[in-house]
Amino acid sequence: MKNFIQRYSAVLLAATILTSAALPQSSISAKSLEQIQAQATIDKETSNPSTESLPISVARRVKREIARRFKIPVSQLQIAAAQSRTWNGCFGLPAPNAFCTMIAISGWQVIVTGQQRIWVYHTNQNGSQVRLNQAASLTNQPTQVQLGFIPEEQAVPNPGESVVFQSITQGGISARTTITRLTNDGIITQQIIAPNIRSIPVVIKRLTRDQVNTFLEQVRQQRFDHLNRLRYFSHRGADFEATKLTDGSTVVEYANPLREELPSGLQQVIEIWQKLLRS
């Protein structure tokens, strides 16, 4: 019985080899090569786990738009991350104090990198409509900043109903967390939390209602809402402080050492906030 099985296996192996040799090699290689190349393109454009299931058509449309507008070869552009979004009529990019139709547009927020630059685009579901998020992008000069999305569980700001602006700075060697809050009645409080330390919120300043409104309008003018759920960071060092800003509906995070490399509007918001605290 053992000899029979060995002879039968040998016959099967020989038949397999003869069958493969009899097939026209050109017909196999031409079709296989085409399929392999197509699959390689798909794999390259969707290999980043942060891209969710971004359609290839959307990735290509965004890349072509960048290539046309910024004169950069498509081959030098890469989808760094993408997440599905539901936009309003302004695709999440309203002008300050503008009215946006409250319709639900399914689409994507796409982060593209190339030549040490970063672009953020908002699109509809199939990519037939694309919008550059200029306030969030870094396109003027090479940068070492990396851009990603704030994790979903941290992306919903919840500073409290009366809080109109908040900053949370944490990390660094001291592992200290500083929470600074501005309420709608003009009270600014600060709380410090560190290992073995948990202070209570302390009032550090009081503003008039006009001062609060002026500050919030200055923040809006910098298109702060265009930065929602974005995270500006770097791998150049793990022991750095990071700050998260929120006005209750928008949340953005950045690594403190990168401040001079952040988008100009975000730099202005940081400066306006710190000036308010100092004055």
How large a percentage of the chain has pLDDT more than 90?
66
Cα separation, 167 vs 251, whole angstroms: 10
Q: Is pLDDT at 5 greater than 80 in this prediction? A: no
For residue 159, what pLDDT is reported? 73
Q: Does the reported pTM lie above 0.85?
A: no
Whether 62 contacts 110, CB under 8 Å:
yes
Query: Which option is the CATH number for 153-278: 3.40.1710, 3.30.1560, 3.30.70, 3.40.50?
Result: 3.30.1560
Q: Taking residues 93-112, what's their average pLDDT? A: 92
For residue 173, what pLDDT is reported? 77
For residue 197, what pLDDT is reported? 77
The distance from CA 245 to its chain's CA centroid, rounded to whole angstroms, is 15
For residue 52, what pLDDT is reported? 64
For residue 115, what pLDDT is reported? 95
Q: Is pLDDT at 22 greater than 90 in this prediction? A: no
Summarize pLDDT for 194-215 with one digit per residue, the tens. Answer: 887 777 999 999 999 999 999 9
Cα separation, 138 vs 266, whole angstroms: 11
Q: Is the pLDDT higher at 186 or at 22?
A: 186
Q: Taking residues 122-139, what's their average pLDDT? A: 97
Whether 74 contacts 64, CB under 8 Å:
yes
Whether 108 contacts 54, CB under 8 Å:
yes
Whether 247 contacts 163, CB under 8 Å:
no
Q: Is the pLDDT higher at 152 or at 270?
A: 270
The full set of domain ranges for the chain reads: 49-143, 153-278
For residue 202, what pLDDT is reported? 95
Q: Is pLDDT at 261 greater than 60 in this prediction? A: yes
Tokens of 176: 């200290």
Q: Taking residues 257-261, what's their average pLDDT? A: 93
Instruction: Please name every residue paired with 123 in a beta bridge, in sequence order, or none if there are none.
Output: 108, 130
Q: Is pLDDT at 131 greater than 80 in this prediction? A: yes
Summarize pLDDT for 30-51 with one digit per residue, the tens. Answer: 434 444 343 343 334 433 445 5
Secondary structure (3-state) at 173: coil
For residue 30, what pLDDT is reported? 41
Residue 233 binned pLDDT confidence (cut-offs 50, 70, 90): very high
Q: Which residues contact 172 (CB under 8 A, 6 or more apart)?
A: 239, 240, 241
Pairing label, strands 241-246, 251-255: antiparallel
Q: What is the average pLDDT score of the chain?
A: 83
For residue 51, what pLDDT is reported? 58
